[in-house]
Chain A
Amino acid sequence: MHETTWGLPVVLYLFMAGLGAGALTTSASVLLRGGPTGKYFDVARYGAFIAPIPVMLGSALLVFELGSFQAGHWFRFLNLYLVINMSPMSIGTWLLSAFLGVSILYAYTFLSRDAAPGDSKEKLRRMTAWVGIPLGIGVAVYTGVLLGALPARPFWNSPILALLFLLSSLSTGIASIILVRAIMHRRQLNDAAEANYHESGYILSTTDTLLIGLELMTIFLFLMYAHLTIGHTRDAVGVIMFGGELSIMFWFWVIAIGLLIPAGIELAVIIPRMIHQGKYLSHRYIDIIVPVTVLIGGFMLRYVVLIAGQITFPIGL
């Protein structure tokens, strides 16, 4: 680990906030797309329960990491709530707080054991879902804007970084839902419920594959534009290119483990249905291996980006 201003707690925070935001956005959007019959209700339910937890843990890590907290001024971070300004961190604080409130309220509507589509909390559930989607996307984008706003950090100072973090957030959010779903799943007695489980698994896997493809495209554009320029950005992005200090971290953990392997496995299981109209069956081990690699990739992406930004500087004085 390099000696850096922002270390592991911030890496974890960026990863966990993205994961939670992605889980809520996925959950709320499948709930709203499922219509009044509640086609994807179970998926939405898993996502709703996952969403607030990593965001809360990540925010707590961030508070513990503050200089004021470590110097013993434990509640000084509340100063964040005295101001609204154009700093990405200030906007992010408010977004994150709103996100926490909405995601907890949303999870609450699913809390009852017999929560079902059209029950007494349906109205609140739909309202919080509508608010939750833009908030989730906002939180995911802000984690990238936070880093992208600094000309003094040429590696981060790219508008495409926020998009990359958004795609990675959505992808890790979906992965977390697939993972929890696969672990918690018990064979259903009723055939319709069992078919529904596989159907929603298909939707999740295809969406995740699409997101991974977009992520690869975004990374390609990020690297290509950095490589085709001269000066600060090219020099900074050199640390993740071949021969750079973080190249193995990036190419092995982020690209190979985090993107190519899950994309390959997912393609292998969805192609039979996509092309040959075959049957799609969610397989428990695949539904565990794929999300785990996606989550590792999402974490390593935040790690590489955060460290690379801090060990590179503008060249010259």
Chain B
Amino acid sequence: MNILNTKKPSSRREFIKAVSTASVALASTALSPSAIAKAIEHKPRYGMLIDTRRCVGCHACSISCRAENNVPEAHHRSWVEYTEKGTFPDATLHFLPRLCNQCSTPQCTSVCPTNATYIRDDGIVVIDPEICIGCKYCIQACPYDARFINPETGAADKCDFCVDRLAVGMEPACVASCFNRARIFGDLNDPNSEISRMIAKNAVTVLRPEMGTKPNVFYIGIDYADEHDVRFPNQHIRVTTHRDDNKRR
């Protein structure tokens, strides 16, 4: 399936794949047109749903991501933000795990001058470090501050839903390590997948929808409050992250 497709999409490859899938489907379902159409059309579109009500801010995702992807020190593919709100006894601490939003209409790919970053068939936005020249334009373009320059390759780097793990049928590292099941990963194009069913029956949101990026990382129960929302003198709101600059951007 497409999960193994790590190269750029090529129409010829697609066509051959479609034809071979169709012939398999033909053989097995004995000429049911709807079944053939379904077999040809189904392409996974990967997405993630993060239920912040279940997140306890343990950083298992940040650490497992670092171990899995050899993320260089001082950079983060996956991180957690904390929102402190209120004063005792009416206070709360809220956690917001962050990662690349794998947008459907990303800014980063449209500003890349070398086409080094692109959307794969399965919806994952990836970077080819052999092509990337490290101009940092995509870093400027990302409204989620998800990108950084990897000092070892000199190329832009970010979360790619652990494509190497997906290729062998495993979940991304952050999902596998989340002991409280706050993260659900799956195929948004399959209405019966757990993520599709959860999105269908819960109130979900995405980050910065006004940027028009159409993210494929969804959240349940985010507290959007930050310093800009402080309106009266006794209101305490502070947002921090565990990243070096300690600020949300």
Contacts and interface: CB of A to CB of B under 8 A. Distances in A.
A67 B136 CA distance: 8
Nearest to B151: A71
Contact of A71 (B116, B131, B152, B208): B152
A151 interface: yes
B115 A85 contact: yes
A80 B113 contact: yes
Contacts of B111: 87-89, 149-150
Interface in A82-116: 82-83, 85-90, 93
A317 B222 contact: yes
B141 A152 contact: yes
B117 to A, nearest CB: 11
A313 B249 CA distance: 6
Chain A interface size, under 10 / 10 to 19 / 20 to 34 / 35 or more: 35 or more
Nearest to B143: A152
A5 B136 contact: yes
Interface in B88-131: 96, 107, 110-116, 131
Interface centre among B135, B139, B149, B229 (most CB of A within 10 A): B135
A70 B134 contact: yes
Given A315-B228, A316-B228, A317-B224, A67 B133 contact: yes
Interface in A128-150: 146, 149-150
A67 B116 contact: no
Chain B interface size, under 10 / 10 to 19 / 20 to 34 / 35 or more: 35 or more
Chain A interface helix/strand/loop/mixed: loop
B25 interface: no
A232 to B, nearest CB: 9
B134 A67 contact: yes
A233 to B, nearest CB: 12
Contact of B208 (A77, A82, A235, A317): A317
Interface stretch (B14-22, B153-161, B169-177): B153-161
A87 B115 CA distance: 9
A6 B136 contact: yes
Contacts of B202: none
Interface in A66-80: 66-73, 76-77, 79-80
Interface of B: 96, 107, 110-116, 131-137, 139-143, 145, 149-156, 207-208, 210-212, 222, 224, 226, 228-229, 245, 248-249
Closest 5 A/B residue pairs (Cβ): A67-B134, A71-B154, A152-B143, A89-B113, A90-B113
26 contacts: A6-B136, A66-B135, A66-B154, A67-B134, A67-B149, A67-B155, A69-B154, A71-B151, A71-B152, A73-B154, A80-B113, A83-B113, A83-B115, A89-B135, A90-B113, A146-B137, A150-B141, A151-B107, A152-B107, A310-B140, A314-B208, A314-B211, A315-B228, A317-B222, A317-B224, A317-B226
